[in-house]
Amino acid sequence: MSENIDMLQLIDTALAFAAIMLLLSLLVTVVVQAAVSLFGLRGRNLLWAVTELLQRVSPDLAVAVVKREGAMVDAVAKARVKAKELLSDPVLGPTRNWLRRTLRPPTEMTVKDLAHLLEHHKVNVGVPDAARTIGPQAVDAIEKQISGWFDLVMRAAGERFKLRTRWITVLGAFVLAFALQVDSLQILNDLSDTRIRGQAIEQIDDINRFYEAAVSRPEDDGTAERARATMDSVLTMIDRTEIVEFRPIRLSQLGGDLVNGFWGKVMTLLLLSLGAPFWYGAIGKLVGFRSALKPKENEEAAKA
C-alpha cells in the first residue's frame, strides 16, 4: 500500500508541475501570437510561397541558373514584385473574398484562389493561349498546371513558418526563464508541500478547458484585446497556484540574479521550449495514470 501511495504522490507532483508548465507555456504562446501578428509573419510567409511558386511555374519569372549572382537576384526580385501585386489585388474570383480586406494582407490561399489571380493578371504559367480563352476553363487549366508545385511550395512554407515560430517560442521562454527568473527546480521543491500541490491539481480541469478554448479559436482572432484578456486569465490562474513568483531581473544586481538558480532557469527554458501542446498531452497521460492508481489505493485501504 505504501508503494502505491508513494507512486500516487509522485504522479501528483508531476501532474501539478505539468499544469504549471502549461500555464507558463500559454504565456509564451501569447507572446508568439503577438509577434506573428505584429510583424505580419503569416502574410510574409505567403508572399514568400507565392514568390517561390512563380519562379517555378512562370517561364517569364523563372530564376535562371547563371554564374552572375546579380542576375539571379534581379530575377528573384522580379518574381517578388509580381507576387506582391497578386496578393494586393482586391479582385478575386467567386471562391473567396478575403482579398477584399484592406487592413491586413491575406495569410492563406488555395490553389483555386491563386489560379484566379494568375488568370486575372494574365501571368504566363505555360498554359496554351487556346486554353485561356474562356474564364472558367482558363482557371481550371491554370489550376491543373500549378497544382503540383503549389502543394510542394505550400508544404515548404508551412515548415518555414513553424521554424520561425519555434525560434520565437525559444526567445519567449528565455525571457520568462531569465528576465522574470522562473526557476523550475524551485517549483519542483515547492510542490513537495501537499497543500500547494493540491491547489495546482484542483485547477487542472480549468486549465485544460482554457487551453482547449484558446487553441480552438480562429488563427486570425489575434487582436490586442484578445491577447491581453488571455494573458490576464493565465496570470490569474498562476496566482492561484501560489507557486510561481515573477521577479524581474535587476540591472543593478545582474550578475547575482543570473547566477542565482541558474540551472533551474535553464531547465525552465528547455521545458517551455517544448510548447503548450506537449504539456497539455502530458497532463492527459498523467491523469490517466492517476485514475488507474486511485482505485487500487482505495481497495487496499478498504482491506486494511
Q: Three-state SS for 66?
A: coil
Q: Which residue has the cell 505555360?
A: 126
Residue 101 scores a pLDDT above 80 = no
Cβ neighbours for 151, distance < 8 A, ≥ 6 positions apart: 111
Please write the tens of the pLDDT for every residue from 254-279. Answer: 777 777 889 999 999 999 999 999 99
DSSP string, 239-301: HHHT-----PPPGGGHHHHHHTTHHHHHHHHHHHTT-HHHHHHHHHHHHHHHHHHHHHHHHHH
- Residue 235: what pLDDT? 87
pLDDT grade for 156, boundaries at 50, 70 and 90: very high
Residue 17's pLDDT is 94
- Residue scoring higher pLDDT (9 or 105): 9
Average of pLDDT values for 97-115?
60
Contacts of residue 36, defined as CB under 8 A and 6 or more positions apart, other chains included, come to 42, 165, 168, 222
pLDDT tens, position by position, 40-92: 888 888 889 888 888 888 877 776 554 445 555 566 788 888 888 887 776 54
Burial category of 15 from C-beta neighbours within 10 Å (exposed 0-12, middle 13-18, buried 19 and up): buried
Q: What are phi and psi of 243, to 5 degrees?
A: -115, -55
Question: pTM score, two decimals?
Answer: 0.75
Cβ atoms of 50 and 83 closer than 8 Å: yes
Q: Which of residues 65 and 177 earns the better pLDDT score?
A: 177
pLDDT recorded at residue 218: 58
Say if residues 277 and 28 touch (Cβ distance below 8 Å): no
